[in-house]
Amino acid sequence: MKLTDYLKPELIQLGMNFSSKKRALETIGTLVTDYLIQDETENDHSDVDCFACLFKREKLGSTCINYGIALPHAKLPNWNGDKPIAVFLQLENPIDFETADNREIDLIFAVIFPDKEDDEYQNSLQQIVKVLNNKQLAKLLRTTQSLEDIWTIFEQATLPEEELDEENKEDISSQPKDE
């Protein structure tokens, strides 16, 4: 799985400044809604709808992972898109994201999922966490100042080699044996 499966270059923003987590989520809502309006014929969702679903999910608990990265995510009600939409924000200054360890975050990779009843949501989210939970990747995303270079980093970011091997073993072991 590649992060660029869901992320588009126009949904990458660098050097952003926010006074709070709420402002960051509002911006994500606007970016996603603007993208949906441009990409689809439907106009049924507002930036407030998108913000509300992200904010509601955040109230359940912080979506921060490691290394100063937040992963806000939610299903957008009544959106029947083909695949999730991701937004990446590199922050100029860290913000409080209400983490259990009180660490601030400066990288946000948000994902909006279609409103479908299936396991794809959970599986995709787990894969994204595995890819982003990498100290070297966080350092690169934090220090890179060009959209093109950030895009290249995301194109090359995949699951760690040992996890790919484990997944391949599972795939092989679940296949029927020839008799």
Of the residues 24, 29, 68, 73, only one is catalytic, namely 73
Active-site residue, 45 included? no
Strand-pairing partners, residue 5, are none
Nearest Cα to Cα of residue 53 among 78, 16, 19, 81: 78
* Cβ atoms within 10 Å, residue 62: 18
Phi, psi of 124 (to 5 degrees): -65, -45
Residue 15 one-letter amino acid: G
| Residues 120 and 5: beta-carbon distance below 8 Å | no
Active-site annotation, residues: 73
